[in-house]
Structure 1
Amino acid sequence: MREPAWRRTGSTPDYRFSLANERTFLAWLRTSLALLAGAVALDQLTPNIAPTLVRGILAVALAGVAAALAGLAYRRWALAEQAMRHGRELPFSRVMLGMTLVVTLAALVFGILVIVRP
């Protein structure tokens, strides 16, 4: 894979900041993998928790969020790296609020399903 053109601009940031940015990227990927594992578990390990359609919708929604988060993780890493290279403020991301809302909603739905399980 070719090095992005933006990596040849600005000045190289302190390696500690680049490594911290990379650790954040990896944390976002771990979160994405956890959401994907939750989607698979919901679909495969809890057949009696809800009707098949409801379970399928929840699993697909979680898997979709996991895929989106993985893609956004790279974008966030790249934007932060570019900001450091040019001495700019790190970019703000609404993704964290969105992820909080999605996980909260999923937990509430799952909790309701556990309580009202037939």
Structure 2
Amino acid sequence: MENYIGYFKALRESKGLTLREVERQTEVSNAYLSQLESGKIKQPSPLTLHKLSEIYGVGYDILMEKVGYPPLKKKVAEINRDKSSIALRVGSITEDEEVELLNYLKFMRSRKK
């Protein structure tokens, strides 16, 4: 599944992180991260996705589904969290729109520095 190409890079950049910074915080090599961002890694391990979900502030279940794993069953707390998600405020968005929103967020955050 390749619908995530560009997504991981946009997530990283929206947080203002370099590949090396993510590597230091997650112990996932920057070479592996680069290959993930470019789509060369087809299905990263759940452990890697869990580490990335924590540093990027994105739900683990979202990253799992993004790379093609079956949807996880959601707990009540997660369902309540999802009720405040941006998709509910702006309507459903496409994969491309999500990447563009992340890129715009990166731009907005860079202006604040």
Shorter-chain TM-score bucket reads 0.3 to 0.5
TM-score of the pair, normalised by structure 1: 0.32
Q: Which has the larger radius of gyration?
A: 1
Larger helix fraction of residues: 1
TM-score of the pair, normalised by structure 2: 0.33
